[in-house]
């Protein structure tokens, strides 16, 4: 950076002296428009079930979903993401429940779309909430079969679109799935359904509480390193994003979030496409537990979310969305 002055003529603290001055020169801001609220669904009636590893986050039965949607709309949260906690009895090796038109996600979509059109609905496309082995696809010879999995993901995407999903969000990390899903959606008259690709999803240690929430942690056999990205790599992320954009992605996701701010920034600088960040369950739980134990102040939530905006994120999937939206202007 070119030297543009020196002390004492230049005093950087002058612009920081008052609140009004700090607001005038603020480079980044956060509003409810930047937030996507993940909601966990479970079977039963009148259920609000706490998730031990995610304090302040709950699984909700479908009879409570309309109240949550009304709350999100009132707080100006533009989109919610739906994730199911599938009973063990409905899981199998093929993840067949993902294609059940009466599964939790499909029921929620129909229920919400019956009365609410002013909020976006995002649906995860992957098989891990539905498989008894906890992987995102069809396992053959101890490995997830890429092409066989895509066939199922296409069917899952079409069913979700039919039920009213606005944003299909493949999180599986199969090669080529974005292009195949886009072609299938267009062919079946869902050309306006958007695709949010989890283009950059690392094989991370920060996913544990989420797997508790959807009930896949105990069932997971092995790990996901042969399809999710190696956290040592960054240039590979740009190749993944470039491929998914070429195949028809409307937005791309970087997941996890805070440990990968450099990736968000790099993707934003290299591609003129909306980049979303996922502040994943492990990030949430670390911050929330530190606040609950008075190790850090609650203001750390906003600080963490602003870091995504500073890196270039257009929107943030965060479990803090519901609790902080009212505090944002």
Mention every residue, 6+ apart, whose C-beta is less than 8 A from residue 231. Answer: 202, 203, 204, 259
Distances (CA, A) of 107 to 114, 159, 233: 11, 11, 39
Q: Which helix (H) or strand (E) holds 311?
A: helix 300-311
Provide the annotated active-site residues. 201, 255
Residue 92 has pLDDT above 70, yes or no: yes
Distances (CA, A) of 236 to 105, 171, 243: 32, 17, 11
The CATH code of the domain at 28-327 is 3.20.20.70
Q: Could you count the other beta carbons within 10 Å of the beta carbon of residue 261?
A: 17
Place of tokens 């537990």: 289
pLDDT of res. 329: 63
User: Residues of the chain with pLDDT > 70: what percent?
Assistant: 99
Question: Facing residues of 197 across strands?
Answer: 252
pLDDT of res. 1: 64
**CB crowding 180-212: b at 16 or more within 10 Å, else e:** bbbebbeeeebeebbbbbbbbbbebebbbbbbb
State the Cα–Cα distance between residues 50 and 45, nearest whole angstrom: 15
State the Cα–Cα distance between residues 46 and 284, nearest whole angstrom: 26
Q: What is the pLDDT of residues 111-156, one digit of tens each?
A: 999 999 999 999 999 999 999 999 999 999 999 999 999 999 999 9
Residue 30 has pLDDT above 70, yes or no: yes
Kindly list the domain boundaries of the chain, sorted by start residue.
28-327
Q: Could you count the other beta carbons within 10 Å of the beta carbon of residue 222?
A: 12
Q: Would you say 64 and 48 are in contact if contact means Cβ atoms under 8 Å apart?
A: yes
User: Residues of the chain with pLDDT > 90: what percent?
Assistant: 90
């Amino acid at each position: 950076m070119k030297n543009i002055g020196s002390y004492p003529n230049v005093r950087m603290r002058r612009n920081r002296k008052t609140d009004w001055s700090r607001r005038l020169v603020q480079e980044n801001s956060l509003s409810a428009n930047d937030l996507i609220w993940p909601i966990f669904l479970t079977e039963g009636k009148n259920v609000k079930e706490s998730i031990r590893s995610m304090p302040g986050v709950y699984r909700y039965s479908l009879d409570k979903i309309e109240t949550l949607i009304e709350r999100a709309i009132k707080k100006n949260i533009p989109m919610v993401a739906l994730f199911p906690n599938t009973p063990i009895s409905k899981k199998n090796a093929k993840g067949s429940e993902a294609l059940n038109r009466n599964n939790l996600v499909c029921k929620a979509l129909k229920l919400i779309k019956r009365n609410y059109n002013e909020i976006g609905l995002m649906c995860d496309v992957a098989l891990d909430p539905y498989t008894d082995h906890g992987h995102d696809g069809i396992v053959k010879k101890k490995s997830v079969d890429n092409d066989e999995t895509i066939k199922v993901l296409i069917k899952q995407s079409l069913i979700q679109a039919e039920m009213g999903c606005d944003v299909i969000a493949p999180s599986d990390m199969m090669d080529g799935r974005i292009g195949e899903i886009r072609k299938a959606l267009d062919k079946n008259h869902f050309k306006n359904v958007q695709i949010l690709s989890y283009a950059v999803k690392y094989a991370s240690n920060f996913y544990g509480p989420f797997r508790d929430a959807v009930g896949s942690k105990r069932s997971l056999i092995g790990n996901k390193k042969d399809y999710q990205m190696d956290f040592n790599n960054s240039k590979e992320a740009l190749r993944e994003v470039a491929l998914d954009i070429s195949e028809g992605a409307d937005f791309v996701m970087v997941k996890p979030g805070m440990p990968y701010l450099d990736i968000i920034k790099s993707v934003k600088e290299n591609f003129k496409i909306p980049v979303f960040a996922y502040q994943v369950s492990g990030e949430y739980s670390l911050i929330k537990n530190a606040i609950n134990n008075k190790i850090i102040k609650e203001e750390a939530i906003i600080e963490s979310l602003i870091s995504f905006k500073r890196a270039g994120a257009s929107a943030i999937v965060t479990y803090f969305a519901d609790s902080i939206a009212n505090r944002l202007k």
